[in-house]
Amino acid sequence: SPEPVMMGGVSARNHLVLAAGVLGTCASSLSRMLRSGAGAVVTKSIGPEPRFGHPGPCLVVLEDGLMNAMGLPNPSKQFQDELSALSGEPVIVSIFGGNPEQFHEVAGWFADKAQAFELNVSCPHASGFGAQIGTNPDIVKACTEAVKEWKKPAWVKLTPNVTDITSIGKAAEEGGADAIVAINTVRAMRISTGMRRPVLGNKYGGLSGKAIFPIAVRCVYELYEACSIPIIGCGGVSCAEDVIEMMMAGAQGVEIGSAIVRDPDIFSHICKDLYAPDGISPREIVGCAHG
Ligand code: RRO
């Protein structure tokens, strides 16, 4: 196993991070991911009030990825209990809110337990959160500044559902972000032709997995040219070759989510290939695809 890796103020055990939302609501599944080789883990997004989420079906498996409309289900402040069971572990707490004050409040609940925060300014499925916030550079900057008052590393996770992702990345950087995570899910929909209705209970959802990998690579590449803080690549990474491609686009590390569905031990399997004795040194390849 490699040396500890510093990524945006977080000390991780390798370059691979469990993406937010996946197995992230309880301490036991987060710690299972760490045991199975994740370098660090991001929790399910926690917000200002408890939520049950959208009616089902809220997750469907497609040919080339997943589509979800979970609807931000989370235990809110109660998540403190789960986090206590993970003390000393590399855990990044994903948080969301409807305005900078709510981001500040939620971050405060976890400020002494989290290694870092990941600001979710990109959830596509709940009115008042995410989508509205993550498409407005001024609000992204204000939310980032609010969370940074707690003096912890703050990653900001961006939505791909914008015309110019670099303007949002630059706003996060101006707000004091320690890293940018790109990307959250892509706006999507499927219709059941047999049932003659949308397959998701919420009608619309967010697409993740292999299908969005090229979208994520382009976003990381553009952000690397526009911003000076580290970028963490997220979106469809499912093998060591994908990790290397993301790094060549400019990512210092990657997050992995959907690929866990097909291989629960994906982290150790990718580590084995990525850190093979004759492999490439990640340090030397970050951003190497840029002229
Ligand atoms: O809970 C969700 O529906 C959800 C969130 Br918070 C998010 O950030 N991204 C996503 O695809 N689903």
Query: Ligand 1: does its nearest atom lie under 6 Å from the Cβ of 184?
Result: yes
| 81 Cα: distance to centroid of ligand 1 (angstroms) | 22
Coil, helix or strand for 147? helix
Which atom number of ligand 1 is nearest to the Cα of residue 58?
Answer: 3
22-74: per-residue pLDDT in tens?
887 889 999 999 999 999 999 999 999 999 999 999 999 999 999 999 999 99
Report whether residue 45 contacts ligand 1, using a CB cutoff of 6 Å: yes
197 burial class (0-12, 13-18, 19+ CB within 10 angstroms)? Answer: exposed
pLDDT, one tens digit per residue, over 106-152 is 999 999 999 999 999 988 776 666 667 899 999 999 999 999 999 99
Active site residues: 123
Confidence band, pLDDT 50/70/90 cuts, at residue 1: low
- ipTM of this complex > 0.90? yes
What's the CATH number for 5-55+68-186+208-285?
3.20.20.70
User: Which atom in ligand 1 lies closest to the alpha carbon of residue 122?
Assistant: 8
- Extents of the domains making up the chain: 5-55+68-186+208-285
Q: Is the CB of 161 under 6 A from ligand 1?
A: no
Q: What is the pLDDT of residues 172-212, one digit of tens each?
A: 999 999 999 999 999 999 999 999 999 999 999 999 999 99
Q: Calculate the CA 21 to chain-centre distance.
A: 8
Nearest atom in ligand 1 to the alpha carbon of residue 130 is 8
Residue 115, ligand 1, Cβ within 6 A: no
Q: Cα–Cα distances in Å, from 74 out to 21, 53, 191, 210, 258?
A: 10, 8, 27, 26, 19
